[in-house]
Structure 1
Amino acid sequence: MYELKTKENDRSVIEFIESVENPKKREDAYRLLDIFTETTGFQAKMWGTSIIGFGSYHYKYATGHEGDAPLVGFSPRKAKVSLYFATGDERREELLKAFGKHTTGKACVYINKVADIDTEVLKKLILQSIEFLRKTYPNP
């Protein structure tokens, strides 16, 4: 049976951020930590070894696969900072148009540094993602 690797755990968020080698990326990680914490109202938790997540939801796909994931989160990776927002909502795409310098993958939004983005739009993306996921996966 498939086991999800990215699970919430008790590792220290601060210790993880302190382990980020690049000082500018570490500084951005603290800035994002403040923005996500203030906007979500949730305490930051480590998910897996490198994702800082906020809140959680339980999903179940038509295939029967199910699990838990953070509502939103980020990871200060070596190349870029990964931001995790829900996909599938048109509002996300509209907000991203005003977000600033970024690229997108299948599920992630990537930025080089916080200075490249509009932090007010970031807050809107965070709230939009939480609202969308709560509608899509209401608590049983």
Structure 2
Amino acid sequence: MKPTGGSVAAFIADVTPAVRQRDAETLTALLQELSDREPELWGTIIGFGSCHYRYPTGNEGDMPVLAFAPRKAASTIYLDSTDRHSDALARLGPHTIGKGCLYIKDLEKVDLEVLRSILKSTLAWTESGGDEGMRLVVLT
């Protein structure tokens, strides 16, 4: 995966429904603040910074340091692991999860301070190089 270019602002302006557009603006500001990196489009993902990952199997590639995608059904926020954040997720508010994805339908219904702490933890994990399950090298 690589940055694909394009205007993040124009991409967000086309996001529907309106609640997802509003949440995309909020998430962009939050992730930019936490990461101290500019947003970039990675296809339909808004990413901040980049890192190279490598699994013990040898599979490797590049991905954003922090990222989210404003999907029609929910905003998808990419985490290091949802298992590592189970206590915080219990306090977050309405959401669903996948293995490494957090799905939020309306940011106004969740505790943004809890979300901030989850994202800070994910950023710290990434910047520290990951773990034995995935090694990471931050590029930008």
TM value normalised by structure 1: 0.86
Does the CA-based 8 Å contact 2:82-2:100 persist in structure 1? no
After superposition, residues 52-67 of structure 1 pair within 5 angstroms as: 52-67=46-61
Runs of 5+ consecutive residues of structure 1 not aligned to the other structure: 1-5
* 2:98 alignment partner in structure 1: 105
Q: Distance in 1 between matches of 2:4 and 2:80?
A: 21
The alignment partner of 1:37 has SS state of helix
Q: Which residue type is aligned with residue 105 of structure 1?
A: G
Q: Distance in 1 between matches of 2:121 and 2:61?
A: 21
After superposition, residues 74-89 of structure 1 pair within 5 angstroms as: 74-87=68-81
The one of 15, 32, 36 aligned to 1:20: 15
Q: Distance in 2 between matches of 1:88 and 1:122?
A: 12
RMSD of aligned C-alpha atoms?
1.8
Identical amino acids, percent of aligned pairs:
35
TM value normalised by structure 2: 0.86
Q: Deviations over 1:37-92 (max 9, x none)?
A: 112211111112x11111221111112111111122111111111111111763x2
Runs of 5+ consecutive residues of structure 2 not aligned to the other structure: 131-135
Q: Distance in 2 between matches of 1:133 and 1:97?
A: 22
* 2:133 alignment partner in structure 1: none
* 2:65 alignment partner in structure 1: 71
Q: Distance in 2 between matches of 1:81 and 1:88?
A: 15
* 2:117 alignment partner in structure 1: 124
